[in-house]
Amino acid sequence: RKEVEQDPGPFNVPEGATVAFNCTYSNSASQSFFWYRQDCRKEPKLLMSVYSSGNEDGRFTAQLNRASQYISLLIRDSKLSDSATYLCVVSLTGNQFYFGTGTSLTVIP
Amino acid sequence: EADIYQTPRYLVIGTGKKITLECSQTMGHDKMYWYQQDPGMELHLIHYSYGVNSTEKGDLSSESTVSRIRTEHFPLTLESARPSHTSQYLCASRRQGGTYQETQYFGPGTRLLVL
């Protein structure tokens, strides 16, 4: 079983739409959680960390459900520039990081 | 913006050649990582290092070796390149200490094609 599972999509949404991605992780002892964004043929870049109480950064909201071992990312008012692959990342000890395959998002004009 | 660099950015090489992929960071990070990523697939950890003279193998055995003689430098060597090594190689670094939420910073990657 993979450490991190994501729906690969693709998600094709119109500009202005709200879209949500989910991710599940297998190890209940995981300590840290992140969402990264990866543009085509580029390196991953941190979008936001995910805290136990949930957190928001502008149009992006991340939630963590430890009981169900899933993480979510909500994007409101989608922009064309949000088109990318979103990677769910989980770390057990803060040393090794496990990446999901990513969820592909295309925002359509 | 992360100060982590990888060279070369693109490499086409023949089977059996020895190659070294370079990774350097100027952030003074102790922890460094090498990942391999195929198109549409997740990143797989190849090697990591907690500091100078410390290296460990990751989950993916890629028949490569690494060294960490200086904090800022973490090169990856393939002794004999094979077509199965064709992939994108990403280097990352992370600050030692801090909280569990301390994130990794990635270099721009090296795209390797072995003919």
pLDDT tens profile A22-40: 999 999 999 899 999 999 9
pLDDT band at B97 (very low <50, low <70, confident <90, very high): low
User: Chain B closest CA to A40's CA: distance in Å?
Assistant: 9
* Res. B102: pLDDT tops 80: no
Optimal mutation site among B43, B60, B89, interface A, most CBs of chain A within 10 A: B43
Q: Do B31 and A4 touch (CB under 8 A)?
A: no
Comparing alpha-carbon positions, the chain B residue that sits nearest to A42 is B108
Give the residues across from A23 on adjacent strands: A6, A71
Q: Do A96 and B45 touch (CB under 8 A)?
A: yes
Could you tell me if B21 lies within 8 Å of chain A, comparing CB atoms?
Answer: no
Q: Are A62 and A54 in contact (CB under 8 A)?
A: yes
Comparing alpha-carbon positions, the chain A residue that sits nearest to B102 is A94
pLDDT tens across B45-95, in order?
999 999 999 999 987 766 899 999 999 999 999 999 999 999 999 999 998
**Phi, psi of B55, deg, nearest 5:** -140, 145
Q: Do A101 and B104 touch (CB under 8 A)?
A: no
Contacts of A39 (CB under 8 A, 6+ apart): A84, A85
